[in-house]
């Protein structure tokens, strides 16, 4: 069952029935910010209703990345300004058939058809790098967060010590790469000083449980860093030993995340593909971007 979590100071989170995906509402009468409204039509309508109830003068729709389950909500916010990464539009165009297929499939499974097919769009403001932004009462720090998706950004609310982490730092999903391991590691290393300085007490992942204490947030970060470092090191050792990619997959089958075996269809397949992508990255061979959907639905672009 979906649920709302009120984190105080106008920060509210709605969890979808699909993949435990978190959509965020920053509620204020001057300006409401909606992050990744999803996933099913009734859930997006609930988010839109809550946004209308704020009586906000302005609404901004902020999309953390271009994966299908994060982008479907725009038609419910026709007057909203949209903001996303500068790679966002191109990824929507590239993946349009996949977005239609996945949205239609899961909507049919839950008896909630979308009123009309998703249409790709260009964000009103495209960002990249490190950006500081003030949307009336909301001061946001936006950072590139490549590794899982090249159009991904994280959103930090420094005064509230809150990080909206997009598809990172989850308790139910291991880091899932879309290319060589180095990009994801670099993203987490960029965030590490923010965590260590006490800048994150509340962590909202794209999927899974919200964290409301700094120690647990830092532990999530360390677990993902440790996994990625062990992955890269293990693949490097396998290559040095002359192993092919699939032999490396078998050799690293027992790699753990957070001190526990990797379990579940999605995580097991994600881990196997992580090994392949890391192996290819270390060989400096070009690697096409991978396309993953939560819930055990992995696809690679051909």
Given a cut of 50, is residue 291 above it in pLDDT?
no
As a whole number of angstroms, the distance between CA 15 and CA 23 comes to 6
| pLDDT for the residue 201 | 98
Average pLDDT over residues 129-151: 97
How much is the pLDDT for 117?
A: 85
- Taking only the tens place, the pLDDT of each residue in 209-259 is 999 999 999 999 999 999 999 999 999 999 999 999 999 999 999 999 999
Of 56-60, 235-239, 286-290, the least confident: 286-290
3-state secondary structure of 32: strand
Domain boundaries defined on the chain = 3-300
Q: How far is CA 146 from CA 59, 64, 81, 161, 201, in A?
A: 26, 11, 24, 22, 23
Q: Which residue has the tokens 């180095």?
A: 182
- Residue ranges of alpha helices (H) inside the chain are 41-53, 88-94, 96-109, 181-196, 214-240, 245-251, 265-282
What six digits make up the tokens of 80?
């909203």
Lowest mean pLDDT among 52-56, 114-118, 290-294: 290-294
Beta bridge partners of 164: 155, 204
Per-residue model confidence (pLDDT) at position 302: 23
pLDDT category at 284 given cuts 50, 70, 90 is: low
pTM here? Answer: 0.93
pLDDT over threshold 90, residue 102: yes
pLDDT in tens, 166-205: 999 999 999 999 999 999 999 999 999 999 999 999 999 9
pLDDT in tens, 103-127: 999 999 999 999 988 999 999 999 9
The CATH architecture that domain 3-300 belongs to is 4-Layer Sandwich (3.60)
First to last CA, the chain: 36
Of 54-68, 130-144, 278-292, minimum mean pLDDT range:
278-292
Summary mean pLDDT of the chain: 93
Q: According to the model, what pLDDT value does residue 288 have?
A: 42
């Amino acid at each position: 069952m979906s649920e709302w979590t009120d984190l105080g100071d106008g920060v509210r989170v709605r969890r979808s029935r699909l993949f435990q995906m978190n959509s965020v509402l920053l509620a204020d009468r001057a300006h409401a910010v909606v992050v990744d409204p999803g996933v099913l039509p009734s859930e997006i309508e609930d988010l839109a209703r809550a946004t209308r109830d704020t009586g906000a003068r302005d609404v901004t729709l902020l999309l953390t990345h271009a994966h299908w389950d994060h982008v479907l909500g725009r038609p419910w916010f026709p007057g909203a300004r949209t903001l996303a990464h500068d790679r966002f539009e191109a990824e929507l165009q590239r993946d349009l058939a996949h977005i239609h297929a996945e949205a239609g499939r899961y909507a049919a499974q839950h008896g909630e058809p979308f009123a009309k097919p998703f249409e790709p769009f260009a964000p009103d403001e495209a960002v990249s790098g490190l950006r500081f932004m003030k949307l009336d009462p909301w001061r946001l720090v936006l950072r590139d967060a490549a590794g899982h998706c090249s159009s991904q950004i994280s959103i930090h609310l420094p005064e509230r010590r809150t990080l909206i982490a997009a598809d990172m730092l989850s308790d139910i999903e291991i880091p899932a790469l879309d290319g060589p391991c180095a990009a994801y590691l670099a993203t987490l290393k960029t965030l590490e000083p923010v965590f260590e300085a006490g800048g994150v007490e509340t962590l909202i992942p794209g999927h899974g449980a919200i964290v409301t204490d700094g120690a647990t947030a830092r532990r999530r970060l360390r677990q993902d860093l440790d996994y990625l470092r062990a992955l890269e090191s293990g693949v490097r050792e396998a290559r040095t030993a002359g192993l092919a990619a699939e032999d490396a997959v078998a050799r690293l089958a027992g790699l753990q995340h957070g001190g526990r075996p990797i379990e579940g269809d999605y995580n097991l397949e994600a881990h196997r593909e992580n090994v392949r992508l890391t192996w290819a990255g270390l060989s400096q061979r070009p690697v096409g971007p991978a396309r993953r959907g939560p819930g055990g639905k992995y696809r690679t672009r051909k």
